[in-house]
Structure 1
Amino acid sequence: MPGIRSRITPPSTTGGPAVGPWKSARRTAGLVAFAWASAAGTTGLAYLTLGSEVIPIAVGVLLCLAFAVMLLLLHRAVWLTVLSAVPALFVLVGSVQYAPEAALEQRGVRESVVIVADTAAGTSSNNHRFTLRGTDGKELEEKLGFDGDAWAPKVGDRLDVMRDPEGAVPMEQADDVDAAGRLGGLVGGTVTWTLMAVLAGWRGHVRRRRGRDSLMYQLV
């Protein structure tokens, strides 16, 4: 009737129903919960599969990709999803490497050794496996692995290593064992994910209210 203002919410220009603030908040909270569950789950899996990083890496990559897809669907813009790859790397590396390094710190044996042989010596391979001799003059059964030539130790160098007496975790150079640093990267990456999810939820809600819930606007 003339003079009476309609209280019906105008439909979105994309033809979809308007999304209420509570629904957007629930979606955002769900994505935040998924981020923390992914980080915790991958870390727990790394503990269960100590000595084999293939499984936690594969699962962690899938969970990181799933987070990126859900972030895209929530935000409906690509740029924030692309940026999420940086904290995803911290989450993946931290969750996979924290467990073995924590195990080495808790039960590992520190020992001073000398490199007496290198499987990559005289070859073009960057995959080094060093034969080590302990202070008692005996060679260790376990070899120290090192990938790459940059900062690679040489035959004759003396190192301090951490080795697992149970043999579940590969030996590492003592200076490289930093469980606290891995945990800090894991938590920092997950917190950054959380902030991105909150930003995506807010901007996604605003975009839908303005009728910009369309892939044609996803780069904006």
Structure 2
Amino acid sequence: MLSFLPGLFILVGAVQYAPEAALEARGVREGVVVVADSATGKDGKNHRLTLRTADGEELEERLAYNGSGAPRVGERLDVIRDPEGVVPMERADEVDAAGRLGGLIAGLVGWTLLAVLAGWRGHVRRRRGKTDSLLLSL
């Protein structure tokens, strides 16, 4: 049970680090204006925003936004998009590859420390001759 939180950091960090690192490394940052919003889903919380650059060019890719508080039509945003089209576009203020890497490293360190402590506890219990269940006795 103690390894759940570090494991969650590892899972989230591993899944989200690669796309954000790709956007940070090769992404193109540009200012855009929201020109249309097509909300779908039961609550209308799945938004697909149509964006236009400062040059007046409408972007082919749409920005996906899930949840309430989506940017309104006419609102200006900074986005980072992948010129190769491999990684989906993100709002620039939400891309934090360094933070994701920090979470991934913290999860790995935490999980490693808990595994070593659990192994040491089992080793000490076996040396003392206690072979009953470790789950119920403290």
When the two structures are superposed, what TM-score results if normalisation uses the length of structure 1?
0.58
User: Matched residues in 1 for 2:2 and 2:81: separation?
Assistant: 37
The residue that corresponds to 1:210 in the other structure is 128
1:208 is displaced (CA, Å) by: 2.3
The residue that corresponds to 2:35 in the other structure is 116
Deviating beyond 6 angstroms after TM superposition, the runs of 4 or more aligned structure 1 residues are none
Amino acid at match of 2:106: G
CA displacement 1:58-99 (0-9 Å, x = unmatched): xxxxxxxxxxxxxxxxxxxxxxxx121111111111111111
Q: Answer whether contact 2:30 2:80 (CA < 8 A) is retained.
A: yes
The residue that corresponds to 1:186 in the other structure is 104
Amino acid at match of 1:117: A
User: Matched residues in 2 for 1:204 and 1:157: separation?
Assistant: 58
1:85 aligns with 2:9: no
1:153 is displaced (CA, Å) by: 1.9
CA displacement 1:33-59 (0-9 Å, x = unmatched): xxxxxxxxxxxxxxxxxxxxxxxxxxx
SS of the residue aligned with 1:136? coil
SS of the residue aligned with 1:118? strand
Amino acid at match of 1:90: F
Match for residue 96 of structure 1 among 5, 15, 23: 15
Q: Which has the higher strand share?
A: 2
1:206 is displaced (CA, Å) by: 1.8
SS of the residue aligned with 1:112? strand
Instruction: Give the aligned length.
Output: 137
Greater C-alpha radius of gyration: 1
Amino acid at match of 1:182: R
User: Matched residues in 1 for 2:81 and 2:38: separation?
Assistant: 20
Amino acid at match of 1:193: W
> In the superposition, relative to structure 1, how do residues 146 and 213 fare at CA in structure 2: closer, same or farther (>3 Å)?
farther
When the two structures are superposed, what TM-score results if normalisation uses the length of structure 2?
0.90
SS of the residue aligned with 1:145? strand
Q: Give the percent of matched residue pairs that are identical in Structure 1 and Structure 2.
A: 68
Gaps of 5+ in 2: none
The residue that corresponds to 1:106 in the other structure is 25
Q: How does 1:1-220 map to 2 (within 5 A)?
A: 82-120=1-39, 124-149=43-68, 151-215=69-133, 217-219=134-136, 220=138
CA RMSD, Structure 1 to Structure 2 (Å): 1.8
